[in-house]
A = this chain, B = another copy of it.
Amino acid sequence: MALRIYSKQREQVLETVKSMDPHPSADDVYHRVRRRLPHISLGTVYRNLNQLVETGDLSCVRDGKMVRYDWETGHHQHFRCELCGVLQNVKVSNKEIMNLLSQYSGMIINEIDLEIKGVCGDCSERN
């Protein structure tokens, strides 16, 4: 594989992720995209999701053993509710986090992955 050429499968994978609830898994995307393309294979979904992340059209976040996808590609971090399990995006400036790391002057910091765990607004109201 060198060039990347058009395929309706890739187009539908992207459109499907954009139409879904946030952070679907590859399997979630597979089942949803099959409504439009009943013969698409799971491998095709995986391959295209990975390519779309590579090209910057999607982002992804690891959730335990599984990877979840997101059409929100701008800078953001994640909050996970320990009760309902929902994963939501939050925005914290990297610059502010970097300031906290100024003591580690030997290392070059390129990327910050922050996952915050707690109880989301909905769940804390409910309890």
CB within 8 Å of B: which A57-98 residues: 62, 64-65, 79, 81-82, 90, 92-93, 96-97
A117 at the binding interface (Cβ < 8 Å): yes
Query: Contacting chain B: which of A13-21, A30-38, A41-49, A104-112?
Result: A104-112
**Copies of this subunit:** 2
CA distance A20 to B96 in the complex (A): 35
Pairs across A and B, CB under 8 Å, 17 listed = A62-B62, A62-B64, A79-B104, A79-B107, A90-B101, A90-B104, A92-B100, A93-B100, A107-B118, A107-B119, A107-B121, A108-B118, A108-B124, A110-B117, A111-B118, A112-B114, A113-B113
Residues of A bordering B, CB below 8 Å: 62, 64-65, 79, 81-82, 90, 92-93, 96-97, 100-101, 104, 106-121, 124
